[in-house]
Structure 1
C-alpha cells in the first residue's frame, strides 16, 4: 500500500489552450492523484476526476483524483489562455480507496495541514508549487524525504525566464498526524511572487468483513476414539484468510493453516459436534461450519454399490454407481471386469475400453469405508456394443386407486435386449412427472373432481424409451373443505438433523392417552432417487424418527421400529413407528414441592431428571404453569422418593401431584421439532370444546372393540403437619387383557395412616374395574375440524340419538354427557378422504 510511482511531470513551452499529459498505464483499482498548476483559468479536465482542493490563488493548484478501472493512461486539461504557464504531475497510489481529507495553503500565512485519528496504514500525500522569477536556486533547501522537480517556462507575455518548483511528500504512517507548512522550504530567491500548496489524505477501507464459512466440512477418517475431518478453503475479500480454528462440542481445540483436523480421546458411540471457523489477518472470524459425528468401532461393510450403465459403444462400457450407505463413510471404490480388479478410486464413474465388440462382460464395483471394511460387489452383465433399441411397452396398465388428490397407476414389466429395463416414466398429460424403478406410481397434489390423462413408458439406462400408454382417471370430489397438506420428514434421533422427506402412502397413525401412539405407512419406491439402500439408510430402527406435519404444524412424532417389510411385486416398503418420547402420556406424579427460592416448574424439572432418558430430554420442552422459563432450583433430592412414578411417602409440604403429557410442537429458537411437556390441573381437565353428535357432526360411531378401561388409582391423604401421603393401585389383570389405561387421582379424608390410605386406594381401584365402555366416532371432516388442536385427556361432549340410545320421553338425546378423549386415529388419505376416529372413554369410579 502507498506510492506506486510518480510519473514524469508535464510542462510545455508551446502556446495552447489544450494540454494532454500522457503518464502511462495505471493498475486496475489504483488511485490516480493529479496536481494541475496553472496561471490561466482551467475550463475542463477529462476523465471524470473529482476535484478535492483548489488554492484559488494567482498561481492556482488543483488537486484531483479518481480510481482507475484499468484503461487510464493520459489526461487532457483545457485552459482559458494559451500564453499562460501550466504544469501537471501525477502520482499512482495503491490501496487508497477512501478519501479522508485535504487542505490548501497560500503565501499570506504559515500554512499547516494535520491529519490525525486515521486508520493504520493510511497514505498521506502533500503537494506544493513555488513560482519564482530568475534562475538563482543555489540556496534552495528542501526537507529530507521530499522529492522535487524544477521546470523552466517561457513567459509568453514578456519573454523573461521563469521557474516553477513543485514538491511532494508521500508518507505511510501508523498513527498520529502528518503536517507540512511553507516554512519547510528555505533559501528561495528574493523574487518569489507566488507560493501555494495542496494536500490530501487517503487510506484503505477498514477490513471488518469476516471470511466465508469453511465449506463442505466432511468426515475423512475414524477410529473408535478419534475422527478426522476436512473442509474446503474459505475466502476473504480484503486481508486474506490467516487460518482456521477447530472446536469439539463448542470447546476450542486449536488453530491451523491446513484444511484438515484430527480429534482424539473421544468415546466410542458418543456423538460429538465438530466445528470449524476461519479468521483473517485483521482478526475477523467467520460463522462456524458444523458436523455431528459418532466415532464407532465400525466392523460392518458398506452396502454394495448399485451399478448403472451410462454409456455403450463397440468395445467400450461406461458405468456409474451410487454412494452406498455405511456406518462411517465410504472413501473409495474397487472397479472390476470379469472378476479382475481394474482400479481403486474415489470417483463414481469408470470407462472400460479395448473390449471385444458385442462380447458380454460382467462389470462390478465394491466400496471401502473409513475403517477398512469392504462391501460385497454390486455387478451388472452387459454387451460391449451400442444400444439404440427401446424396451417393450408396459403391459396391463391400470388405475387401481383414486382419492381427492391422488391417482395410483400400476402396470406389468417391460423387457430390454441389453442393459435391461431400469425404470418407467410416468406422465400427467404430456409432462413426464417422474422416473420410477417399480411398477406402481401415485400422482399426488391433484385437484379433487378433475379428470386427468395419466400414463407410463419404459426406459433403459441409456435413455431409450418405449411407446407411451395413456389412460383417463378422475379424482374424488372434495366435500370436506380446505385443509393444509401432510408432510412426512425423517430426523436422526440423536443429532436432531433432518434426514429426508419421504413420499408415504396408506399412512395411519394414532395418538393414545396411555402412551402407545403408533404409525404405519407404505413407501412406494417409485422415485429413482429412493433406492432400497437409501431407504435403509434413512430408516434405521431405533435411530430414526418420523415426524408428521399438517401444513407447518407438527402433529405426530415417533421412532422407526420396523422398515424391513418389502414387497418386490408392488414395489412398496412398509414401515412402522412408535411414540417418540418414552414418558409420553398422562401420569400422576408425586413431587417434593418447591423449597425456598424455587418455582412451581421445578416439579417438571424433577420429572425430566427421573423419568426420561437423556435422548428423550433433548427433544422436550415444557410449558403450562406460571413462571415456566424463569431460573429455577433443579437440585431436587432423589432420596426423597422410594419408587419413582409409583409411590412417594411423606413428601414435603406442597400440592401432591400433577397431570402431564407430551404433544408435538416446534422450537422456533433452535429451528427444529420439539415435544412440549404440558402440566394441567388434574381436578379440571381441559375442555376441548368438541361436540360429537350423531346424527350430526359424526359420520358414524360404534362401541370400541377394546374391552374397556383399566384404571390406575392414586390415593392422596393430607396430614395435619402439611405433608401428604400417596399410594397407587393398578388393575394389572385388565391391562394384561389389553384394556387401555386411564389414571385417576382421589383425595381421601379422615384417614390416619399409610396402611389405611393403601386399603382405601385399593378399594377405589377395585370399584373401577367393572365394565366400562369406549365409543369410537368417525368424523365427517370439514374445514373447521382441526383435530390436532384437541388435547388428549380433555373432555368432549358426546350426544347420540339412535336405536342404541333412543331419545328420552322429553325428546332429549338418549346419550348426552361429557367423556374423556382417550385416543385419536388419523388416516390422512383413506378411500373416504381424510378419516379421523376419536375414541372417548366412559369413566366412572364408585368410590365414596
Structure 2
C-alpha cells in the first residue's frame, strides 16, 4: 500500500527546492554578479624639480635636477628627453640614470639647435610620472668650440692632455682653461691648468694611480658673444700601481697605565717609495701620521685597565695605502709597572 503521507512530503520537498533555485536565479539576474574588491590606486612618481644646466657646448650639455617624490613604488630611474623646437620630430630619450642632483652629461645634440630638455621619473613597475618644467637651450656653433681633451703618455701619476683649437682666428682667443667639471650643483669648478692662446696641451702631475679623471677645455675669447665656449668631456684612467706591503712585527715596547708605545718593521715599497706610516688605535687614526718612513714607532695615551687594538698602514709617495698590518691587542695596567717589557 502506498504511503500517501510520505509521497506528499517528498513532493513538497522537491517543489520547495525547485522554488528556491528559481528565486536564486532571479536574484542573480536582478543584482548581477558579486563585484570584485577594488584594488588601491597606484600613484606615479612626482615631477623632478629645478632642473639646470652647465657647460653648454656644440653637442653636449650637463643637466641636473632635484629628485622627484616617490609614488606607490620606489623610483627606479630618471629619463632625460630632448625636444627639438620648430621640428616635428618626436621627443628623444637622450639619457637614463639612477641619480639625481648630479650633473648628467647629455650628449649627441646637434650644433646650433634649439632644444627643450625635461626629465621624468620612472618607478620600479615601469610607471612614469609627469615631466619636469622644460629647460631651454641652444647649442653653440661647432666652429667656436675646442675639441675634447685627449690624454696621452698616461702613467700612474702623470698624463699629457691636449686638444684641438676652435676654427677661429687665434687673435680672438684669450687662452684656455682645463677644468674638472663639478659633479653636483653645489661643488665648485676646479681649474686644473690655464694656458695662453697658442698652447693646446698641458702636462698633469700628482695624479693618483688607478684613478679615473674627467676634464673639459674652455676657450676664453677676447670679446664678442659668447665670451667662452666649453668642449665636450674627455676621460682617462691612470695606470694602477703596486701598493706597499703591510707593516709587520707590531710590538708593544713600552706600556704604563697612561701611555703605550708600539713599533713595527718597515713595509716593502711597491712601485713608489714609502712616504710615511699611519697608526690606528681601536679603528681610529691617530690624526698625526709618522712624518718620515724612518720613524716606525708611535706613543699614545691610554686609560688604566683599557683594552686596545693597534694596526698600521704604509703610504707611498703616490698616495697609495697598503693593506693594514696584523693587529696587536693589549690591556693597559691599572697601576704602574717598573718594567713593562715586551708584549
TM-score (norm 2): 0.33
- Say which structure, 1 or 2, has more relative contact order (CA 8 Å, 6+ apart): 2
TM-score (norm 1): 0.15
Bigger Rg over Cα: 1
Greater strand share, structure number:
1
